[in-house]
Amino acid sequence: MKSRIKTLLAGAMIAASLPGTVVSAAGPGQQLRDAREQAPAGIIGMWKVDLAASTYKGTKPQAAIRTFAYTEDGKILVSFATLNAAGALSSGHWAAQVDGTPAIEYHSSAGALAYNVVTLSKVDDATLGLTVTRHGKVDLQAIYKISPDGKTLTYSYDGNVIVYRPWNLAN
């Protein structure tokens, strides 16, 4: 029996190390927590803003990018950078589960200090809901939605509809 358990554990460890393989810790009736099991298909990658297709309530930036990746512990890591209309660069990142668990956002305007608290939740197979809290108050509620063809990521909040397209660094 011990050798069978060791074999199963070894197999699970090998499977977990293979790219694209998900080993769920959730048992029957338990909620899936790993972002790789819940994130919309196609969201992982680099995205560059399509300024012509986007609608901003205020001044449009000169450029913006967002990247989505998975972390070792099954969260989604979101990194972003924006070059505003005046030429100032800001950036930040956060890593969150897709179950509403609070996570810390770090932003270039705050240096190494925590800037916001974010929560991420699955709305449907193509949509993630984002809530950003600052100083204990909700500062932003947003939606990330991936198109069925995977070629458009829409980030909507407060009347802004920001359209992103897949970004290839070679272009």
Provide DSSP, 33-78: --HHHHSPTT-SEEEEE-TTT-B-SSPPPSEEEEEEEE-TTS-EEE
Domain contains 7: no
Contacts of residue 144, defined as CB under 8 A and 6 or more positions apart, other chains included, come to: 40, 43, 127, 128, 130, 153, 154, 155
Number of domains in the chain: 1
Q: If DSSP codes are grouped into helix, strand and coil, which group holds residue 119?
A: strand
Is the pLDDT at 150 greater than 70, yes or no?
yes
Residue 151 — pLDDT band, cuts 50, 70, 90? very high
Q: 105-117: per-residue pLDDT in tens?
A: 999 998 888 899 9
Instruction: Give the range of the structural domain holding residue 120, as residue numbers without chain letter.
Output: 35-166
Is residue 4 assigned to a domain? no
Full-model pTM:
0.77
Report whether pLDDT(166) > 80: yes
48 occurs within a structural domain: yes
> Is 20 part of any domain?
no
Q: Is the pLDDT of residue 5 over 50?
A: no
Q: What is the band of 31 on the pLDDT scale with cuts at 50, 70, 90?
A: low
Query: Does residue 51 carry a pLDDT above 80?
Result: yes
Q: How confident is the model at residue 40 (pLDDT cuts 50, 70, 90)?
A: confident
Tell me the CATH number at 39.
Answer: 2.40.128.20
Q: For residue 154, what pLDDT band results from cuts at 50, 70 and 90?
A: very high
- 93 domain-assigned: yes
Q: Does 82 fall in a domain?
A: yes
Assess if residue 147 is contained within a domain. Answer: yes
Name the range with the highest mean pLDDT among 37-41, 43-47, 69-73, 109-113: 43-47
Q: How far apart are CA 11 and CA 47, in angstroms?
A: 35
Name the more confident of 66 and 39.
Answer: 66
Whole-angstrom distance, CA of residue 81 vs CA of residue 79:
7
